[in-house]
Amino acid sequence: MATPPNQRIERSRRTILDALNQSFPATRQELSRRTGLAPSTVAGIVRGLLAEGLVREHAADGQTGRGRPSSRLSPRRPPGHLVGIDFGHTHIAAALATTAQEIVAEARTRLDVEASAGNALDQAAVLVADLLDRTGVPAGSVLRTAAGIPGPVNQATGRIQSATILAGWTGVRPRQELTARLGGEVLIANDAELAALAEHTHGTGRNASDLIYVKASHGIGAGLILAGRRYTGAYGASGEIGHTLIQEGGAQCRCGQRGCLESVVSIGEVWRQLVAAGLPLPERTEWPDDLSLAALAGNPVAARIITDAGRRIGRVLSDLCNALDPAMLIIGGELATAGDPLLEGIRESLRRFAQPAISDRVQVHTSSLGPRAGLIGALTLAATESAA
Ligand SMILES: [Zn+2]
């Protein structure tokens, strides 16, 4: 079936921007050659990018007119730096990058982020100060900071508004708090949304204008890219699939309900099941943020446990797919390190519970950016959006 025109344009636009980011300046003719897009398509899309201010044009030597096929184009990048911060449940990561999103330095620290918002925000400010010290970049050079939070962020009020999902942060306004600590412009978004943005801009989802990123970790959350844009929902709580009921009277979840998806398939619960099945994993009382199930590849007992977790996630994703019809599901978080057995379980549920028109076509992949997806997404947000 033919791709709808708006998706085709969005894809071509992305292709041209990516080609230009990879090597510039470039003429329209060069872009056409490098992307394989027709000269007329390139000309039309470049006109839009110039109008949006994303691209600038320098007249070629000896020419005065603009818009000529031989005049040269560059991405518009102000000088300076960007900061990205990723708050996980058990870690904080920060990166300093140029406005072209080239990472200059990054650092991470382990911390119980949920226990105290104030402490986590202080630690984030320390990480950023260390990055600036280490690189000699003056604080005044940072144009914008963006941070991902593992909970719903109300974009209108800037508050974390869920007593059930990130209890220790309820009522906190991370944007104001980080602005007070770091200065400059600060943007805040949900961590899974930022990972979705990263995959859409730099990863597996580069050619998909509609995708769902699932962070399957200590919690289970989804980030949505719809019609090429990050979708937050009216109150910033879109994609909170972790608290979907999948087992009446099941295990108690941290949200107070029983039988939530997250209480059944969080990395902690799956790890516990793997240990209980006698698999060679260390018992853990403290959860580091770099758990990997990759070492269990090929183990048939592990595969059954992991495929079962995949089926349960897939059951919830089937409903979401029926409602939104995404082209791609990208699975990230520690659970995604299990790879194929997890994806097989998800695909199995999609075949069973999603409409065939959807399950036949939707692609299911693991994240290509891995545990850094949220951090890269924060830098992408800082590079592409402003608070104004
Ligand atoms: Zn719950």
| Weakest mean pLDDT among 75-79, 115-119, 307-311, 360-364 | 75-79
Cα–Cα distance measured from residue 274 to residue 342, given in angstroms and rounded to the nearest whole number? 14
On the question of pLDDT at 249 being above 70, the answer is yes
Instruction: Tell me, in angstroms, the distance from the centre of ligand 1 to residue 239's CA.
Output: 13
- What is the reported pLDDT for 67? 60
Instruction: Tell me, in angstroms, the distance from the centre of ligand 1 to residue 264's CA.
Output: 10
Where do the structural domains in the chain lie, given as residue ranges? 5-75, 81-196+373-384, 208-368
- What is the reported pLDDT for 382? 94
- What is the reported pLDDT for 66? 56
Instruction: Tell me, in angstroms, the distance from the centre of ligand 1 to residue 327's CA.
Output: 28
Cα–Cα distance measured from residue 375 to residue 377, given in angstroms and rounded to the nearest whole number? 5
Instruction: Tell me, in angstroms, the distance from the centre of ligand 1 to residue 154's CA.
Output: 19
Whole-Å CA distances, 142 to 2, 227, 386: 44, 31, 13
Instruction: Tell me, in angstroms, the distance from the centre of ligand 1 to residue 337's CA.
Output: 23
Nearest to 84 by CA among 388, 330, 372, 387: 372
364-378 pLDDT, tens digit each: 999 999 999 999 999
Judge contact between 88 and 106, C-beta under 8 A. Answer: no
Instruction: Tell me, in angstroms, the distance from the centre of ligand 1 to residue 69's CA.
Output: 56
If you count DSSP H runs as helices and E runs as strands, how many of each does the chain have, helices first?
12, 13
Cα–Cα distance measured from residue 211 to residue 118, given in angstroms and rounded to the nearest whole number? 34
Average pLDDT of the residues in 305-314 = 98
Judge contact between 203 and 162, C-beta under 8 A. Answer: no
Q: What dihedral angle (degrees, nearest 10) is formed by the CA atoms of 198, 203, 204, 206?
A: 80
Instruction: Tell me, in angstroms, the distance from the centre of ligand 1 to residue 80's CA.
Output: 42
Instruction: Tell me, in angstroms, the distance from the centre of ligand 1 to residue 245's CA.
Output: 8
Structural domain 208-368, CATH architecture: 2-Layer Sandwich (3.30)
DSSP letter (8 states) at residue 74: E
Average pLDDT of the residues in 125-143 = 96
Instruction: Tell me, in angstroms, the distance from the centre of ligand 1 to residue 250's CA.
Output: 11
Instruction: Tell me, in angstroms, the distance from the centre of ligand 1 to residue 195's CA.
Output: 22
Count the neighbouring beta carbons within 10 Å of the beta carbon of residue 385: 14
Judge contact between 243 and 253, C-beta under 8 A. Answer: yes
- CATH homologous superfamily for the domain 81-196+373-384: ATPase, nucleotide binding domain (3.30.420.40)
Cα–Cα distance measured from residue 267 to residue 216, given in angstroms and rounded to the nearest whole number? 7
Judge contact between 380 and 101, C-beta under 8 A. Answer: yes
- What is the reported pLDDT for 388? 61
pLDDT band (50, 70, 90) for residue 59: low
Instruction: Tell me, in angstroms, the distance from the centre of ligand 1 to residue 56's CA.
Output: 48
- What is the reported pLDDT for 19? 81
On the question of pLDDT at 321 being above 60, the answer is yes
Instruction: Tell me, in angstroms, the distance from the centre of ligand 1 to residue 289's CA.
Output: 21
Q: What's the one-letter identity of residue 36?
A: G
Instruction: Tell me, in angstroms, the distance from the centre of ligand 1 to residue 218's CA.
Output: 12
Instruction: Tell me, in angstroms, the distance from the centre of ligand 1 to residue 262's CA.
Output: 6
Instruction: Tell me, in angstroms, the distance from the centre of ligand 1 to residue 211's CA.
Output: 24
Element (H, E) at 46: helix 39-52
Instruction: Tell me, in angstroms, the distance from the centre of ligand 1 to residue 173's CA.
Output: 23
Instruction: Tell me, in angstroms, the distance from the centre of ligand 1 to residue 41's CA.
Output: 48
Assigned CATH topology for domain 5-75: Arc Repressor Mutant, subunit A (1.10.10)
pLDDT band (50, 70, 90) for residue 287: low
Q: What is the average pLDDT score of the chain?
A: 89
At residue 147, φ and ψ (nearest 5 deg) are -130, 140
Same fold, 5-75 and 81-196+373-384: no
Instruction: Tell me, in angstroms, the distance from the centre of ligand 1 to residue 117's CA.
Output: 21
Nearest to 146 by CA among 79, 214, 194: 194
Judge contact between 15 and 32, C-beta under 8 A. Answer: no
On the question of pLDDT at 62 being above 60, the answer is no
- What is the reported pLDDT for 15? 87
84-97 pLDDT, tens digit each: 999 988 889 999 99
Rounded to the nearest 10 degrees, the angle between the axes of helix 39-52 and helix 28-35 is 120
